[in-house]
């Protein structure tokens, strides 16, 4: 029953996260009247806000991963076993797509769409690597220093990432896949998904290595 509750938390959290990203993108684009900066600001605020709520709510149940890259890092840290980790990733991917469908249903759009928004190239891939690196490093570092601050820290690093990265900081393979099924403000063309996924996993692995070195080094100097 513990694993079932954890999977339910991951499903609810990931689907609500994606529904917020996609839904706020639709709302922001509609209300911004062509002003992309205003639309992005609305999308940013909603995403940062829901991340804080979801992590604070579901963190005690499942750890509030909502992200296969985060689950991979915790697997490497031996804080989750292989079988539950695989189940987490499957649930995250499936519920992310469900979140896209939920957003479309709320705005009376076709439930599944193929995005036409191109997001590819070296700058985009580097941005996703940096965004995921920053996210994972934030999680690991804050867990070590101030565990109670993780919800706020994650919400803030993603909020910042929307604006300091060229890709607007997807930083999440499940969210990336889900956003390929919406031809709206937050979409990504299906052909561009693979490049983002590779960059995100690379960024997560680099953050894991950096955290292992930096925080262990610091503790050895205390």
Residues 6+ apart with CB under 8 A from 210: 133, 137
Under DSSP, the state recorded for 34 is T
Residue 178: predicted pLDDT: 98
Residue range 189-208: average pLDDT? 98
Domain boundaries, the chain: 2-221
Q: Say if residue 34 is exposed, middle or buried (CB neighbours under 10 Å; 0-12, 13-18, 19+).
A: exposed
Would you list the DSSP string of 165-176? Answer: STT-----HHHH
CA atoms within 13 A on the CB side of 181: 23
Confidence of residue 54 (pLDDT cuts 50, 70, 90): very high
Residue 222: predicted pLDDT: 43
Residue 43 and residue 37: Cα distance in Å, rounded? 10
Residue 216: predicted pLDDT: 76
Confidence of residue 220 (pLDDT cuts 50, 70, 90): very low
Segments in the chain forming alpha helices (H): 2-32, 36-62, 68-76, 82-106, 122-145, 150-164, 173-179, 193-221
In this predicted model, what pLDDT tens digit does every residue of 105-147 receive, in sequence order?
A: 999 999 999 999 999 999 999 999 999 999 999 999 999 999 9
In this predicted model, what pLDDT tens digit does every residue of 55-89 receive, in sequence order?
A: 999 999 999 999 999 999 999 999 999 999 999 99
Residue 73 and residue 23: Cα distance in Å, rounded? 29
Average pLDDT, whole number, for the chain? 96
Q: If residue 182 lies in a helix (H) or strand (E), which one and from where to where? A: none
Residue 219: predicted pLDDT: 41
Other C-beta atoms closer than 10 Å to the C-beta of 75 total 17
Structure pTM? 0.94
In this predicted model, what pLDDT tens digit does every residue of 8-41 receive, in sequence order?
A: 999 999 999 999 999 999 999 999 999 999 999 9
Q: If residue 188 lies in a helix (H) or strand (E), which one and from where to where? A: none
Confidence of residue 218 (pLDDT cuts 50, 70, 90): very low
Q: Given this structure, which CATH class describes domain 2-221?
A: mainly alpha
Residue 215: predicted pLDDT: 87
Confidence of residue 217 (pLDDT cuts 50, 70, 90): low
Residue 221: predicted pLDDT: 42
Query: Is the Cα torsion angle 151, 56, 20, 133 positive or negative in sign?
Result: positive
């Amino acid at each position: 029953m513990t694993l079932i509750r954890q999977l339910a938390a991951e499903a609810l959290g990931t689907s609500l996260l994606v529904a917020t990203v996609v839904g706020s993108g639709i709302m922001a684009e509609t209300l911004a009247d062509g002003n992309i900066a205003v639309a992005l600001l609305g999308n940013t605020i909603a995403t940062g806000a829901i991340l804080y709520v979801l992590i604070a709510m579901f963190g005690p149940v499942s750890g509030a991963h909502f992200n296969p890259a985060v689950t991979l890092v915790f697997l490497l840290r031996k804080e989750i076993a292989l079988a539950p980790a695989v189940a987490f990733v499957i649930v995250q991917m499936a519920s992310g797509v469900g979140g896209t469908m939920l957003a479309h249903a709320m705005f009376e759009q076709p439930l599944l769409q193929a995005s036409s928004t191109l997001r590819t190239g070296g700058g985009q891939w580097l941005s996703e690597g940096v965004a995921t690196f920053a996210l994972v490093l934030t999680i690991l570092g804050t867990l070590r220093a101030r565990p109670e601050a993780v919800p706020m820290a994650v919400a803030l690093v993603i909020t910042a990432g929307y604006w300091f990265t060229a890709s607007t900081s997807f930083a999440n393979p499940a969210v990336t896949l889900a956003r390929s099924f919406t031809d709206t403000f937050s979409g990504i063309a299906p052909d561009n998904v693979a490049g983002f996924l590779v960059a995100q996993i690379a960024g997560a692995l680099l953050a894991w290595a950096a955290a292992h070195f930096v925080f262990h080094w610091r503790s050895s100097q205390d």
